[in-house]
Structure 1
Amino acid sequence: MLWFVLPVVSRLHKGLCDLYSGSPHVAAAATTVALAPVTSATAAEPVFGYQGNAFGSSVVVAGVVTSAPTAVVTYGCGTPAGFSRTQTTAGVNVPPSVLRTNTITVTGNTSASPTESKTTATAQNVNVLGGLVTANAVTAASTARNGAGGYSTSAAGTSLVGLKVSGLPILVSPAPNTRINLPGIGYVVLNEQTTRITPNSAGLRVSAIRAVVTQANLFGYDVGTTVIVAQAAAAVNAPTAGFLGGFAYGTAAQLGNVLSSSPSFRIDMPCAGTNGVVRERNGAGVDVPNLLDSGTIRNTVQGVANSTSARGQATSTVETVSLLNGVVEATGVRSVANASRSGGSTSLGSEGTTFASITVNGQPLVVADIEPNTQINLAGIGTLHLRRTFTTATSIEVRAIEIVVLQAGNPLGLPVGTTVQVAVAKAIAR
């Protein structure tokens, strides 16, 4: 039910959002993960699902996080009524004059009477894109509630004080989703709101300011630069037998301690499910030099939660992928994660995870022989994991392909700790 800033480096999208050679001899070892149901002592009494996510600011430049979300407050289903949290920071300064603020304050609260989830984010003395957008103070406020009239949302409390755009004062409070062009640069959206209300849930995301650079310009701001100031999201869901969670994304790569490509086209499972509808996020592919080059990516989540059970599935499918300049190549890469809960018992599975084909140093592997948690040594480089699977009492995560660089002085010159992931899916039922 929440929507986050999730930047990726991709051919389809530049600039959230929310994740990301060796011997010809191939030696493989495999172990099998038991995926039997895990039973808790007692079934929890159904309660409302409260969710919230808010932050003061974030900056993404050309798909890479330049300034991560600040003063973050986040909570998910299972958070009790009466939760209260506040985060503050002295401010941010992102050169070259991309964003500057003074004090940032972010809050999150839940209550049982009324049944309500509320978040706020406030930033003082805001200056965006060298003064093209300024304000004395901006606040985003989001409330989701359930009452006598059913589920509803409110952005009451959202404000932009002393707002100026291109040097001109905005004397009236901007209506939701007010868009103003920034000549020669791009545009800014003020009081941006996204609402979702169903018979069993309500959710609202509010961004006080979202500025986007769409044109090459004399100021030197990269096309695709996205600046968000004061974002607040809140949601509340009807009581169910269990809460769902999880996500799916196509690729992710981390070069040493530097984020090279965050999770691509990531999609998250709402804690109340999707009412059985498949939600998807697709992309044309991702290209990170020396690390990965992928074809079309399709990520999905689907879930149902009601008074008797909760069932969810996450999938990620990558049409083609070449890793480490061709050391590993694969087609039809697909991860599937399933989780369900009923009567206090949680069942997990990864049925459907597969490869159409995969080669390592030019040698094809027998797809049918690839068990969960297969490991292959990449001589002089590190370890190739296939169908890498992590389980807890309530969750399962499947990474169809993951490479971890362990050898210094490797032929590709990659730092130790570099990781590449392809087709990742996680499902949670609790």
Structure 2
Amino acid sequence: MKRSMVALAGALALALTGGATSSAFATTSITPAQITTGFAGSAYGSYIFNTDKTLTSGPTASASIACTGATGKTASNNVSGLNVPAIGTVGNANTTVKTVLTTTSKRIEGKSTVAGANLLGGLITAGAITSESTAEKNTAGAFAGTNQTTIADLKVLGIAVNANPAANTVIDLKVPLLGSVGKVTLNGQEKRLVGTTYQVSTTALRVEILKAGLLGLKVGTDIRLGVSNVKLTPPQTGYLAGTGYGTRATLASGLIGSGPTALASVKCAGGTTTANVAAVNIPGAVSAGASVTTATGVLTPEAKSTVVNTIGGVNVLSGVIQVDAIKAETSASRAPGGGAVKLTDTSTFTNLRIAGLPAINASVAPNTVIQVPGLGQVTLHKVSKSSTTIIVTMVEIVLSQALGTLPTGSKIQIGYSNSSVGA
């Protein structure tokens, strides 16, 4: 009887603990919506530059998504074709980056399409050029990615090339009488896990000039067409973004006449970056003193992005516009519990003067637009906002006539700051 009671007690204990053990070690399944990941991605049509940056075009039609964990987001852009001296022509570009919730995963997709290109005096010609990159994370936590390139009617040195070249195909750019002056890489691909970040990138067509000989081209000239990059990043409590700079000039064609000065950006996971220049000069248009940009991000006690650019002694067109000092300062923050993003603008002018317009001073209202004879349309303290982002440009000029090296229609920006906190 005693033995039977012990056996019965043991059986009962086994039944009870067996149920508990089964529950404790069962694999917890999640839905695709419960997958935790961050997203970052970009795509552009073309980026052309040389080592000393005396030639810079692009990135054109740049579209990007960064510092977010949300699906259902889309960024897109497009730009007309362009003609770059000594390089050739590049067709219209269209780009898209989007985050997607599928039935099995969360995914980010990037796509770039360029309508066609004729480069280096016809040494390289192509019809539509497309690159696509995807990266996804499934409910088991596994990463996967894809790269795809299609180049219609591609010819290199007059020889037709398959529209779907193998990954990382390299062609020697061997020109008659000059020999090898560089290389062409088709369907450039990369997939890799760096720490806990999974990244996928595709460059449909890249040309690198490695030896002198082609008229007007320096060694180090780099031509990239059809580029898409996507990443899956570790999740975090808030996603930060922001950029600031002192000056920038963009030609009506989309070419960069003068790149951003004192450029600094907020890091997605926080921290501080600073950039400064001793003086600024856009020949024939703008001169200024020192410019400093500080970009700061923190995740605790609340997610907050702050960008401050200062620039002193601004002089536009030999005194048409003068400002002793400009401060472009924005911030975006979100409380730990979530909710709406708080956007602030504490930007200021110090002693703003415009020739012939004495009513315009440092207290000018945001988004004031005026026409300045001999210069063009001027927007002062330009502010734009979305639910998560604020952008301030203290002086924006669209030229009504050529100034120095800048043709009619060029845009000059002075004192730029944007801040953002994403979900």
Structure-2-length-normalised TM-score: 0.61
CA distance in 2, matches of 1:60, 1:349: 40
In the alignment, what sits opposite 2:382? Answer: 388
Is the partner of 2:106 in helix, strand or coil? coil
Name the aligned partner's letter for residue 428 of structure 1.
Answer: S
Q: Which amino acid letter does the alignment assign opposite residue 122 of structure 1?
A: T
Pick one of 316, 341, 348 that aligns with 1:346.
341
List per-residue Cα deviations over 1:247-286 (Å, max 9, x = no partner). 334434355566563752696867xx43322345667877
Q: Assess, with a 3 A threshold, how the Cα gap between structure 1 residues 262 and 234 changes in structure 2: closer, same or farther.
A: farther
Whichever residue aligns with residue 413 of structure 2, its letter is Q
2:227 partner letter = Q
Judged with a 3 Å threshold, the aligned counterparts in structure 2 of structure 1 residues 51 and 263 are, in CA distance, closer, same or farther, namely farther
Letter in 2 for 1:328: I
Report the Cα distance in structure 2 between the residues aligned to 1:204 and 1:429, rounded to whole angstroms: 25
In 2, Cα distance between equivalents of 1:63 and 1:183: 19
Aligned counterpart in structure 2 of residue 120 of structure 1, from 139, 142, 147: 147
TM-superposed CA distance for 1:336, in Å, is: 2.2
The 2-side partners of 1:236 and 1:245 are apart by 16
Aligned ranges for residues 70-109 of structure 1 at < 5 Å?
Answer: 70-75=93-98, 81=106, 91-94=116-119, 96-97=121-122, 99-109=124-134
SS of residue matched to 2:341: strand
1:248 pairs with one of 244, 247, 252: 244
Pairing 1:227–2:223 present: yes
Are 1:160 and 2:154 matched, yes or no? no
Aligned to 2:307: 314
Q: Please give the secondary structure, in 2, of the residue aligned with 1:96.
A: helix
Matches within 5 A, 1:21-420: 61=84, 67=90, 70-75=93-98, 81=106, 91-94=116-119, 96-97=121-122, 99-109=124-134, 111-113=136-138, 116=143, 118=145, 120-124=147-151, 126=154, 136=162, 159-161=167-169, 163-167=170-174, 197=194, 201-203=197-199, 205=201, 207=203, 210-213=206-209, 217-221=213-217, 225-254=221-250, 259=255, 261=257, 264=260, 273-279=267-273, 289-293=283-287, 299=293, 301-305=295-299, 309-318=302-311, 321-330=314-323, 332-342=325-335, 343-351=338-346, 353-355=347-349, 358-361=352-355, 369=363, 372-374=366-368, 378-379=372-373, 381-405=375-399, 418-420=410-412
Percent identity between the aligned chains? 23
Q: Which structure carries more relative contact order (alpha carbon 8 Å, separation 6+)?
A: 1
Q: What are the superposed Cα offsets for residues 92-137 of structure 1, whole Å, 9 maximum, x if unpaired? A: 3246236422443333445441665746341436556x68x99646
> Aligned partners of 1:9 and 1:356: how far apart in 2?
38
Contact 1:2 1:234 in 2 (8 A): yes
Partner secondary structure for residue 122 of structure 2: coil
Match of 1:72, SS state, is strand
Q: CA deviation at 1:399?
A: 0.2
1:8-19 aligned at under 5 Å gives the runs 14-15=55-56, 18=59
Q: For 2:278 and 2:95, how far apart are their aligned partners in 1? A: 31
Q: Distance in 2 between matches of 1:376 and 1:364?
A: 13
Aligned mates of 1:19, 1:299 — CA distance in 2: 24
Partner Cα separation in structure 1 for residue 322 and residue 219 of structure 2 = 32
Q: CA deviation at 1:227?
A: 0.7
Instruction: Name the CA shift for 1:429/1:333 in 2 (closer, same or farther; >3 Å).
Output: same
Change (3 A) 1:310 1:18: farther
Report the residue type matching 1:403 in the other structure. Answer: I
**Does the 8 A contact of 1:18 with 1:266 survive in 2?**
no
- Distance in 1 (CA, whole Å) between partners of 2:226 and 2:403 is 45
User: How far apart in 2 are the matches of 1:183 and 1:384?
Assistant: 51
Which residue type is aligned with residue 149 of structure 2? T
Greater gyration radius: 2
CA distance in structure 2 between the aligned counterparts of 1:370 and 1:10, rounded to whole angstroms: 42
Distance in 1 of aligned mates of 2:321 and 2:86? 25
Distance 1:123 1:74, change over 3 A: same
Q: Is the 8 A contact 1:138 1:230 kept in 2?
A: no
The code of the aligned residue for 1:313 comes to T
Code of the aligned partner of 1:360: I
Residue deviations 1:38-71, cap 9 Å, x none?
Answer: xxxxxxx96589999999xx99957999637845
Unmatched tracts of structure 2, length 5 or more: 1-39, 62-67
For 1:99 and 1:68, the matched residues in 2 are separated by 14
The answer for the alignment partner of 1:424 in structure 2 is: 416
Q: Distance between the aligned counterparts of 1:302 and 1:372, measured in 2? A: 24
More helix by share: 2
Corresponding residue of 2:20: none
Q: Identify if the C-alpha distance between structure 1 residues 380 and 101 changes in structure 2 by more than 3 Å, giving closer, same or farther.
A: closer
What do you get for the CA RMSD once the two structures are aligned? 5.5
Q: 1:284, 1:386 → 2: CA distance?
A: 24
Seen in structure 2, the aligned counterparts of structure 1 residues 18 and 381 have a Cα distance that, compared at 3 Å, is closer
State TM-score, norm by structure 1: 0.60
Question: For the Cα contact (< 8 Å) 2:112–2:131, is it kept in 1?
Answer: yes
- Structure 1 unaligned segments of length 5 or more: list them: 21-44, 140-157, 169-181
